[in-house]
Copies of this chain bind each other. A is one copy, B any other.
Amino acid sequence: MKNIIKYGVPALAATAIASPAFAQEAAADAVGGGTAYILNTLLFLMGGFLVMWMAAGFAMLEAGLVRAKNTSTQCLKNIGLYSIAGLMFWVIGYNIAYPGFDGPGLFGMAGTIYPMQGVGEADLETGYSVASDWFFQMVFCATTASIVSGTLAERIKIVPFFIFVTVLTGIIYPVVVSWEWGGGYLDAAWGFSDFAGSTLVHSTGGWAALVGALILGPRLGRYGADGSINVFPGTNIPLATLGTFILWLGWFGFNGASQLAMGTVGDVSDVSKIFVNTNMAAAAGVVVAIIATQLRYGKADVTMALNGALAGLVAITAEPLAPTVGHSIIIGAVGGLLPVIFVPILDKLKIDDVVGAIPVHLVAGIWGTLIVPWTGDATFVGQLVGVLLTMVWVSVASGIVWFILKATIGLRPSAEVETAGLDIHEIGVEAYPGLANQN
């Protein structure tokens, strides 16, 4: 994603001029400034509603992969976190994310609360409606919180979860964004490159989830004292499949609209290339996951295929424009292999990740970030610094919040509640009352 606060998308005057490469055809492909403004804004709105839709994707993926007795809780957590993310990104997050650094800053904050222009007015100086950009950035913030929700499912009380989400979306995530898209330390000092957020969004969510899983511990009975591993199969595979398709669809907005402009022929062509590369990385992830599980287990595990799609998508997110289609297929294929490798490793380490979010969002996010120099404009060292700094900040900040919550209101329900399922005690609404016990 381009840094829109610092560098801005081309202002009205500039967008009216053809890109240099086609200077001699300026008369043919020039786009007026007002038209470019509308098209840039439209890209944010379309990207925004597609990424908003990803909140439903996470909800369905997670609802499908938890057990029936915790499904209502997972539904509530997902609609709740999306709502909290929106409110917090308005109250404070956006200002932290885009503080107007004048150099390699680490922490800063702009103005007060997000303002909107009056009715009928436009933000002519930026070349797009700031409200549309705010909407687009907000849904990214919500995505980060969704990742945490999946890993920690089935064993965290909703109140501490929502409090964590409040801090994550209001402060922890926006600080990471400020370093790169806000023009801060990683961007200014290291030339760190993360087009649509393999690190900023997906690894941030992944680190917060990993630290949470370590502090929270696994679900009761998940890992036997004798070293045995008990699989708790998800209740509703079609819902998980639906969730994956929703996420795939939403990713066209996630990556495509991170071009941040479609007011020139070059920009809209780039958005098109991003669509193709994003799709092909996911497709490669699916095929590799199917082949790998078929070869390893003699069965093509559908949950691995779903995670393969998502890992391919996460991997291509750091640089979905510069690669050729061939590059994208390779980047996505490696991504799709990562859950097949890391899901068993996490189990050996007794880290209980209910939906596989850590391999998909954290591990594939790191992979996608570190491979950017292969095709894009970045250095391996710069990328590594970005990965490590994000790790340190998110782990420490999340750890502090998780520990405070654990020490005060507590994170886990009682063993009785966890065994009976959180739905009855936390929500009071069972997820599938008419199915298990036909009325």
Which A residues form the contact surface with B (CB < 8 A)? 12-13, 16, 18-19, 21-22, 25, 28-35, 37-39, 41-42, 44-46, 48-50, 52-53, 55-56, 59-60, 63-64, 67-69, 71-73, 75-76, 78-80, 82-84, 86-87, 90, 113-114, 116-117, 119-124, 129-132, 134-135, 138, 158-159, 162, 233-242, 244-246, 248-249, 252, 256, 262-266, 268-273, 275-276, 279-280, 282-284, 286-287, 290, 294, 297, 299-303, 305-306, 309, 321-322, 324-325, 329, 425-439
Out of B124, B242, B269, B287, name the residue touching A80 (CB < 8 Å).
Answer: B287
Residues B280 and A90 in contact, CB atoms below 8 Å apart: yes
26 contacts between A and B (CB under 8 A): A18-B34, A41-B271, A49-B50, A49-B249, A53-B245, A67-B434, A71-B237, A72-B302, A73-B302, A75-B238, A76-B300, A116-B276, A116-B325, A129-B272, A131-B272, A132-B269, A158-B300, A236-B431, A237-B432, A238-B239, A301-B429, A302-B427, A303-B429, A435-B435, A436-B437, A436-B438
Residues B269 and A117 in contact, CB atoms below 8 Å apart: yes
Out of B22, B114, B116, B283, name the residue touching A124 (CB < 8 Å).
Answer: B22
Given known pairs A18-B34, A22-B122, the reply for A116 and B245 (CB within 8 Å) is: no
Could you list 14 further interchain pairs (A-B, Cβ under 8 angstroms) beyond the known A30-B33, A52-B279? A18-B34, A31-B34, A42-B42, A49-B50, A67-B434, A69-B439, A86-B280, A87-B287, A119-B321, A123-B269, A129-B272, A237-B429, A301-B428, A301-B429
In the bound assembly, the distance between CA atoms of A59 and B305 in angstroms comes to 14
Chain B nearest CB, measured from A183 CB (Å): 21
Given known pairs A276-B131, A432-B237, the reply for A283 and B83 (CB within 8 Å) is: yes
Out of B16, B34, B86, B306, name the residue touching A265 (CB < 8 Å).
Answer: B34
In the bound assembly, the distance between CA atoms of A171 and B337 in angstroms comes to 28
In the bound assembly, the distance between CA atoms of A84 and B309 in angstroms comes to 12
In the bound assembly, the distance between CA atoms of A162 and B290 in angstroms comes to 11
Residues B238 and A119 in contact, CB atoms below 8 Å apart: no
In the bound assembly, the distance between CA atoms of A38 and B249 in angstroms comes to 21
- Please indicate the chain B residues that have their CB under 8 angstroms from the CB of A239 in the complex: 238
Given known pairs A241-B63, A427-B301, the reply for A235 and B83 (CB within 8 Å) is: no
Residues A273 and B119 in contact, CB atoms below 8 Å apart: yes
- Please indicate the chain B residues that have their CB under 8 angstroms from the CB of A12 in the complex: 25, 28-29
- Please indicate the chain B residues that have their CB under 8 angstroms from the CB of A301 in the complex: 427-429
In the complex formed, the residue of B with least CB distance to A256 is: B45
In the bound assembly, the distance between CA atoms of A333 and B240 in angstroms comes to 31
Out of B76, B117, B322, name the residue touching A290 (CB < 8 Å).
Answer: B76
- Please indicate the chain B residues that have their CB under 8 angstroms from the CB of A80 in the complex: 286-287, 290, 300, 305
Residues A309 and B121 in contact, CB atoms below 8 Å apart: no
In the bound assembly, the distance between CA atoms of A79 and B301 in angstroms comes to 12
Residues A302 and B241 in contact, CB atoms below 8 Å apart: no
Residues B305 and A272 in contact, CB atoms below 8 Å apart: no
Residues A120 and B68 in contact, CB atoms below 8 Å apart: no
- Please indicate the chain B residues that have their CB under 8 angstroms from the CB of A233 in the complex: 429-430, 433-434
Given known pairs A28-B16, A273-B131, A436-B435, the reply for A265 and B116 (CB within 8 Å) is: no
In the bound assembly, the distance between CA atoms of A234 and B423 in angstroms comes to 14
Chain B nearest CB, measured from A106 CB (Å): 28
In the bound assembly, the distance between CA atoms of A119 and B2 in angstroms comes to 14
Residues A132 and B275 in contact, CB atoms below 8 Å apart: yes
Chain B nearest CB, measured from A120 CB (Å): 4
Chain B nearest CB, measured from A423 CB (Å): 8
Chain B nearest CB, measured from A356 CB (Å): 13
